[in-house]
């Protein structure tokens, strides 16, 4: 991952789960990371720890649903480091419910974080990257964009929307030097996954073991599994990968429907 050295990278949702793994991996290899999230305490602690280790990490408190918060994160990158080489539109939220139970507030939250947030990232990152004539934006989608997960209707729709957005961006902006890519994780051991276990009649550990037995590689993914793939996609070695989704799901999509 030597290609990450001195790269300026914005990571939304950068203080937990896959986003935190990206922040830690990228700074380990010399990148200058702006980690944005609504987790003020965790974000400050993460940035302070990484800085104490000699890495370059700035924490930016912000909600990706708020246009001004995302604009400020991009402006922070440019003002401090003079450029923005990559952005990882990673922040996500999950609500588990049937469509017959959905409220407007549920819909606005999930679509606001999972789809509108990446749109704001692109709105403000793209002009910077076009001026540089180079950049890469990576979206964290999900196998939920292709599988009819029970009680995940709005979440699945939000992740499928990300893929459609990415491909439209390719046609509009790749001729000016920007690549758009996506990772599609399967079942990853993150705090968001843990929160989805609430209310079940089994403890989390048993639920995880049940799921792991069904995945062909017989384990849940770890955030670092996804971060490593994202790190590669940001490199010049991945320069001909554009408008593509890379699946990081242990073989989940190969499973038969019975």
Structure tokens of 54?
Answer: 């000699």
Task: List the catalytic residues.
Answer: 155
Rounded Cα distance, 26 and 11, in Å: 10
The DSSP bridge partners found for residue 185 are: 248
* H or E element that contains 37: strand 32-37
pTM reported for the whole predicted model? 0.95
- Chain segment 205-229, per-residue pLDDT in tens: 878 888 899 999 999 999 999 999 9
Helical axes 17-28 vs 223-233, angle rounded to 10°:
50
The helix/strand count (H/E) of the chain reads as: 9, 7
- Chain segment 7-30, per-residue pLDDT in tens: 999 999 999 999 999 999 999 999
Q: Which of 7, 54, 1 is nearest to 34 (CA)?
A: 7
Rounded Cα distance, 69 and 60, in Å: 9
Question: Are the C-beta atoms of residues 121 and 180 closer than 8 Å to each other?
Answer: no
Q: What average pLDDT values come out for the chain (258 residues) when binned by 10 residues? A: 94 98 98 98 98 98 98 98 98 93 96 98 98 98 91 94 98 98 95 70 78 92 98 97 98 85
């Amino acid at each position: 991952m030597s290609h990450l050295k001195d790269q300026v990278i914005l990571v939304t949702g950068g203080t937990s789960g896959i986003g935190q793994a990206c922040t830690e991996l990228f700074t380990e290899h010399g990148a200058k990371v702006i980690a944005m999230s609504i987790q003020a305490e965790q974000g400050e602690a993460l940035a302070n720890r990484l800085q104490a280790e000699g890495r370059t990490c700035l924490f930016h408190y912000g909600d990706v649903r708020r246009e001004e918060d995302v604009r400020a994160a991009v402006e922070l990158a440019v003002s401090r480091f003079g450029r923005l080489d990559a952005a990882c539109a990673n922040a996500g939220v999950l609500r588990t419910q049937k469509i017959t139970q959905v409220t407007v507030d549920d819909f606005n939250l999930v679509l606001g974080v999972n789809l509108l947030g990446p749109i704001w990232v692109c709105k403000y990152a793209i002009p910077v990257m076009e001026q540089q004539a180079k950049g890469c934006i990576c979206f964290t989608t999900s196998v939920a964009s292709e599988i009819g997960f029970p009680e995940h209707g709005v979440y699945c729709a939000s992740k499928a929307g990300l893929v459609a957005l990415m491909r439209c961006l390719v046609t509009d902006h790749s001729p000016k030097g920007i690549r758009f890519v996506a990772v599609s994780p399967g079942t990853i051991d993150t705090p968001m996954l843990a929160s989805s276990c609430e209310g079940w009649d089994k403890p989390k550990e048993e639920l995880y073991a049940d799921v792991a037995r069904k995945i062909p590689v017989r384990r849940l993914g770890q955030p670092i599994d996804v971060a490593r793939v994202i790190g590669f996609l940001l490199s010049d070695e991945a320069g001909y990968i554009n408008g593509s989704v890379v699946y990081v799901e242990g073989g989940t999509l190969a499973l038969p429907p019975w």
